[in-house]
Structures are given as structure tokens and as C-alpha cells.
Structure 1
């Protein structure tokens, strides 16, 4: 039985990923910082709720300890929790704004990955999926034919660019674990006011694909719902 832990899984892409993986036979652990919403999502999906705030060391450590006690390992870690931050004119951005976005989108991934590595190393086929974005791609955000080029979201885009680079570094340093990044594409979620043209199911195609592919699949890749894409 594949055991999968998903952060930010009480709504949006995280919840839909959890739903689909439960249907595929995974034992899914719904990680969320809101206890009521997390518990509701887990009950509705047939999963188990684990309280986690990826910005808090103690909360992440407690979540890992909870999983160690109950499941003993995980096979797949999906680092999905993310925030958008301010959009538009960056003239009034503050350091606090930047730290708030990076605390979730980058430091949260580092914090959670470090805490869950011992549990992943108990798996025969450990996998990490980092939910990144084409918004962090230099090529996409400079291509006038793509939706990514029309959006100004300085901190979100910078944090996702950093996350894709972080993914390649982890993949190089930890060859025993398959570590890849997923670009969901422009999907209708709370993050963008449900303005995206893709359904939440379409938006989870790349995440689910990376979470379920075989052990011979490569590491250090950036994948969308169509296939592998360039890191630039």
C-alpha cells in the first residue's frame, strides 16, 4: 500500500490530488493547518487528517512524529501548500511581504522535506513531488503567447522559480529518492480567484502522474499535464 502525505490538502489542488490518489488505492494523509477544514476534507475523502503548518518548525516536527507513530513511513510526499502574495505594481512591496510568501512556498518545502526524509527513507520507492508553477519559468513569463506572461505577481513567481531550482538540487543530492516538480497549469482555484481555464482535476494531472509513475522514472524533472518541460 502506497502511503502519501500531502500538504495544503484541505482544498484546491491538494484536496483533488488526495481524492484522486485515494481512488487509486493510496493511503492518503491530508495535511492542513486548519483543523476543522482538514478534518472535514479527510473524512469526505476517506483519508486521515494530520495537522501541519509548514511555516512552523514545531508543527512540522509534530506532524512527522504523528505519521511515524501511526503509519511508520511514507512513500510519497507532495509539497503542495502555497500562497500567492501581492500581485501587480511592486512599488509598495515590503520585506515582510516577501518573507511571508517564501516562508510557505520555499522554506515550508525545505522544512517539511527535512522532517519527512526519515519516513521516506523507510520506503522501497520514495518520491517527492514539489508543486511548482510555470509562473516561475523565465521562458513562459517572457512568451507573449502564454498566459504566464500576462501576470505580474513578483513574489509568487520568484518563489516558484526558487522552488524549481531547489528541486534540481535535492534531486542531485538525494539520488535514492525520486524528486520532481509539477506545473499544474492555469487552474481555477482560490489562489487565482477561480479565474483559471483548467478544472481542478486537469490541474492535478501532473501531480498525480508524478506520484504514481514507476520506479524507473527519472528525477530532477519539471512536468506539466502534457509532459516534461524545460526548467528555464
Structure 2
């Protein structure tokens, strides 16, 4: 009887745990787990190399994040520093990016499936926003100036736009995953390979198929480098 009571108490306590708070990369169980790029083993993350073979370069990248980037046709350039660039980030649950915006440039609507993002404006002005999930789809937006900070919750569609027609803008984003991923909405929907059926998309967007065919014929450039 006591065992049954303890079990029920445990279940009740687990029900109170805010599971959304742990929806991020798992915590490391050691000081570090530097990526072993030579390992043939595939795991959720990367295999660690022998700690005895680790050196300072495993935690370093000469990224020149102080230098401006050339933007693409949508007017932005995302320079991401994640586990693919710094092997020592493996299991540490963080990454960052420098984002350059041309005048009237934007980082188009996209999501990070594995990370919350916190954005800090270094130069210029940005109009930013995100949309909450179904069924409400509330749009929350803000105009940010130099030094301002804004948070985009994990998995939600968000964007940044530079409203100034004459001056560029720069921001730094920190993300709560070693490999946050990025799904640019237009690229994924209209630029998939092979393409999604135009019948499906025409019905989904309630437009004529020729409109979908035109969109699918465009070059959907990736601004995440």
C-alpha cells in the first residue's frame, strides 16, 4: 500500500514539472565532449574524442565577426557559429550568429526547430516579430534600436527587417542549441527538392496553380552560411 502511495505521489510530482523548460540540448555529463570528426559512429550529436587529444584550438575559431558581410538578394547574411565550426561546442547547448542586414534587407520568416533565440542589435534599427502556434497565430512585433534585445521562442516562425532605406544594420543572436537548425519558410515550401505538388500548395494557400508554379520557379536563395 505504501509503495502504491509513493508511486502516486511521484506521478503527481512529475505532472507538475515544466517539461517545456527542458526542451533543449541535454546537459553534459563531463567538462566537454569535443567532436571526433574521424569517428564512423552516428549518434544524436557527435561522438567525443579522447580528452587527452583535446587542445585549445578545439574551442576556437577565427571568425572575424567584427567584419561586415556581403548580403544576398533578400538583403541579409547570417554567419552562424555552431558545433560544425567549433568542435568544442558539442553537448554545451549554445551557438551564436552575426546577422548583417542591407538597407531594407530582411532575414525572412523562418524557424529554429531546436533553439530559442535572443537577438541583440549592434547597429541600426530592426523591425522584428514572431507568430504564436495554432490556433491563435498571434503576431507579436517590436521595433528595436541599437542595444535593444528581443527573444524568439523555440520553434516559432520569426523574422527581422531593416526598415532604413539608407543604412545597414547588424545584430548578434545567441541560440540555445549547439546546432539550432533553420527552416526558411518560403524556401522549404516553394523550393523543396523534389517540389511539393502544386495541387497541394494551391489548395493550402487558396490560390491558382499558376501562382504556385511561378513561385516554385524562383531561385530561393539561402542566407544562412
Which of structures 1 and 2 has the bigger CA Rg? 2
Q: Which has the higher contact order (CA 8 A, sep 6+)?
A: 2
- The alignment's TM-score, normalised by the length of structure 1, stands at 0.22
TM-score normalised by structure 2 residue count: 0.23
If each structure's strand is expressed as a fraction of its own residues, which one has the higher value? Answer: 2
